[in-house]
Amino acid sequence: MKKFIRIGIDLGKRYFQVHALLGEDGRAVTRKLRRDGFLAFFAEAAPCLIGMEACGSAHYWGRELRAMGHDVRLIPPIYVKPYVKRGKNDAVDAAAVCEAVSRPDMRFVPIKSAENQASLMLHKTRELLVKQRTMSVNALRGHLAEFGVVAAKGVGHAGELLEKAKNDATLPEIAKAAVKIFVQQLEAISASIVALDKEIANVHAQSETSRLLVGVPGVGKIVATAIVASVPDPSVFKSARDFAAWLGLTPRQNSSGGKEKLGAITKQGNRYLRKLLTLGATSLLRVAGKRNGVLRDWLVALLARKPARLATVALANKLARIIWAMMTTGEAFRTEVMARAGEPSMA
């Protein structure tokens, strides 16, 4: 079998560029492989370290190559860019990946299982349908406003808007025909969202970690299942702050000369999880007055000094840290940290 020190791969749809290093002296074998011959090349190679960018289809190929005995590492594309030499093409990118994967301080993306990716597919499909429903309601609201038919904002008032359009005798029949199309679309989308919610609930019921996380205030089945599927191995983060930084919930630094200068949050990392945690923190902020405990006291003190929106992001950061600690230790959320008013303290 062919022996390589390490291999860097630049993934594509039909063609894949391979940079296989023979020795530390820089000798390498470069190949442009078709999709149907990709795995055959690695079947003839002895198990070695393989690096790939964490892009489309990377998790699938990572699972396939691991099944062959290779040590596969996925690297965020932004961490590969500094190793790209002058010019850019597939061969240069593969060489950059090969170099980046050898760095001792490099951060890698855990390879997700097929089950985790299927769970995330439920979430992404649901997110898309929710956007489409919002777009449809907004479009319908804009069209009917031209005929003087209005209702309060929000998807929850769409039924009221449709009822007004149905009973409006001045609305042209052609416009009512268009409204019927909107009704059919909204009903289909809503039914699909309900079906996806049931599937997500089933995934939640089968995951011990997900059932553990719903004990955190502001975290429900959707948030818990999304985090479990996105972070199969929480130990890849050295600390809770690293996890929060990966989600983009930590301040951006622009420090120099010993002067610490912090700005807004970085908004890097997983946008979907960051959005879910922020929404959960927003809902929790609204009922903070009905809670007791140290987390509630911390939040009240923060609101006395900072705007509500900033406090929401800070709370999302704290929730992320709590979630990482629970996933790492397996410990349940301590209810006395933020209990409902009137509940007996566990302290």
Q: Are 120 and 200 in the same domain?
A: yes
Q: What is the CATH number of the domain that holds 12?
A: 3.30.420.40
Provide the pLDDT for residue 263: 85
The answer as to whether 110 is a domain residue is: no
The answer as to whether 347 is a domain residue is: no
Q: Are 264 and 314 in the same domain?
A: yes
- Provide the residue-wise pLDDT of the chain in tens; the chain has 347 residues: 789 999 999 999 999 999 999 988 888 999 999 999 999 999 999 999 999 999 989 999 999 999 999 999 999 999 999 999 888 899 999 999 999 999 999 999 999 999 999 999 999 999 999 999 999 999 999 999 999 999 998 899 999 999 999 999 999 999 999 999 999 999 999 999 999 999 999 999 999 999 999 999 999 999 999 999 999 899 989 999 999 999 999 988 888 888 888 888 888 888 999 999 999 999 999 888 888 888 888 998 999 999 999 999 999 999 999 999 999 999 999 888 787 766 554 43
Buried b (16+ CB within 10 A) or exposed e, 182-214: bbeebeebeebbeebeebbeebbeebebbbbbb
- Rounded to an integer, what distance in angstroms lies between the CA atom of residue 102 and that of residue 99? 6
Query: Rg of the Cα trace of the chain?
Result: 25
Q: Are 184 and 280 in the same domain?
A: no
The answer as to whether 279 is a domain residue is: yes
Please check whether residue 73 is in contact with residue 49, taking contact to mean a CB–CB distance below 8 angstroms: yes
Provide the pLDDT for residue 293: 86
Q: Are 215 and 274 in the same domain?
A: yes
The answer as to whether 1 is a domain residue is: no
The answer as to whether 345 is a domain residue is: no
Q: Are 151 and 32 in the same domain?
A: no
The answer as to whether 107 is a domain residue is: no
Q: Are 202 and 214 in the same domain?
A: no
Kindly give the residue spans of alpha helices, DSSP state H, lying in the chain.
38-43, 58-67, 77-80, 90-100, 114-145, 158-167, 173-206, 208-213, 221-230, 240-246, 271-286, 294-305, 308-329
Q: Are 152 and 232 in the same domain?
A: no
Domain end call among 102, 125, 155: 102
Range of the domain at 23: 6-102
pTM confidence score: 0.88
Q: What is the dihedral of CA 138, 221, 63, 52, to 10 degrees?
A: 60
Domain end call among 206, 241, 257: 206
The answer as to whether 288 is a domain residue is: yes
| Number of structural domains found in the chain | 3
Q: Are 268 and 226 in the same domain?
A: yes
Domain end call among 34, 69, 102: 102
